[in-house]
């Protein structure tokens, strides 16, 4: 158990809908990362937050957004969903943002768009 | 930009065989290098890391040495077990104006008894 929790574990929805994925980092970790893992794209970095502020953006679509709240939990919002958004979404956390810091991954949320 | 390349999988080995998974990277500065492992149905977890040239990371019998001259970080294990079956990701992290981890595509390993 990494100490990172993600909810829900599974999510099935229809095209055009909007969903929210939630992540609680390990106690004391200030940095939260979101990743998308799909068979054809592999593991793609989406976005990083540090202590409530956006730190880095990766391959995140404009239909997707995220935020980190004062209690450090984070939410990833996916809107106007398309079939291709079906994937495993991971959240990870780390203590700070030093490059040698280990990232601790949650178990993921499996999103299926029908 | 920064990138990580790994050998294509899947790799299938017999128990107690020697394992090598190649990883090479491209980076503008001096990154930290990682190997993460993903067991079936789980998230990724750090296997080992190295933060500077010639450092050797090791854990659970796995080793990898940071080779700056060849920009490589190959993963090795002398004798694999069935329980090592998983997907292995090589990754780098470089602090430029922000911290971002770049993962390789992953190499699937199956160890058969």
The residues with which A47 forms a beta bridge, in sequence order, are A34, A57
Smallest CA-to-CA distance from A14 within A87, A82, A88, A99 is with A82
Structure tokens of B76? 């090795």
Q: Which residue of B has its CA nearest to A102?
A: B46
Q: Supply the Cα-derived Rg of chain A in whole angstroms.
A: 13
Q: Evaluate if residue B57 carries a pLDDT over 80.
A: yes
Structure tokens of A12? 């099935």
Q: Do A56 and B100 touch (CB under 8 A)?
A: yes
Q: Per-residue pLDDT tens for A15-43?
A: 999 999 999 999 999 999 999 998 887 88
A residues 31..70 contacting B (CB < 8 A): 31, 33, 42-43, 45, 48, 55-56, 58
Average pLDDT of every residue of chain A: 92
Give the span between the Cα atoms of A25 and B43, in whole angstroms: 14
Mean pLDDT of B72-91: 96
Query: Does the CB of A106 have a partner CB in chain B at under 8 Å?
Result: yes
Mean pLDDT of A69-92: 96
Q: Do B103 and A4 touch (CB under 8 A)?
A: no
Q: Supply the Cα-derived Rg of chain B in whole angstroms.
A: 14
Facing A43 at nearest CB: one of B46, B100, B106: B106
Q: Which residue of A has its CA nearest to B32?
A: A100
Structure tokens of A10? 């599974």
Mean pLDDT of B12-33: 93
Sort out which chain A residues have CB atoms less than 8 A from B96's CB and list them. Answer: none
Look at residue B98 in the predicted model and tell me its pLDDT: 54
Give the span between the Cα atoms of A33 and A56, in whole angstroms: 9
Look at residue B1 in the predicted model and tell me its pLDDT: 78
Smallest CA-to-CA distance from B107 within B86, B76, B92, B91 is with B86
């Amino acid at each position: 158990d990494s100490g990172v929790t993600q909810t829900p574990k599974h999510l099935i929805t229809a095209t055009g809908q909007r969903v929210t994925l939630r992540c609680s980092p390990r106690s004391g970790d200030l940095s939260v990362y979101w990743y998308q893992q799909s068979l054809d794209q592999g593991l793609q970095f989406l976005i990083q937050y540090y202590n409530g502020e956006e730190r880095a953006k990766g391959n995140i679509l404009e239909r997707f957004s995220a935020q980190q709240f004062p209690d450090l939990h984070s939410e990833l919002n996916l809107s106007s969903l398309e079939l291709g958004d079906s994937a495993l979404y991971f959240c990870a956390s780390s203590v700070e943002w030093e490059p040698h810091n280990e990232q601790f991954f949650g178990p993921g949320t499996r999103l299926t768009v029908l | 930009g920064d990138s990580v390349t790994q050998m294509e999988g899947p790799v299938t080995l017999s128990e107690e065989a020697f394992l090598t998974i190649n990883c090479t990277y491209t980076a503008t500065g001096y990154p930290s290098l990682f190997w993460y492992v993903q067991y079936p149905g789980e998230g990724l977890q750090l296997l080992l890391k190295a933060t500077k040239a010639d450092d050797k990371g090791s854990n659970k019998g796995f080793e990898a040495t940071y080779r700056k001259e060849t920009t490589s970080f190959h993963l090795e294990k002398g004798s694999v077990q069935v329980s090592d079956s998983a997907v292995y990701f090589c990754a780098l992290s470089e602090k430029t104006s922000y911290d971002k981890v770049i993962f390789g595509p992953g190499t699937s390993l199956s160890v058969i008894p």
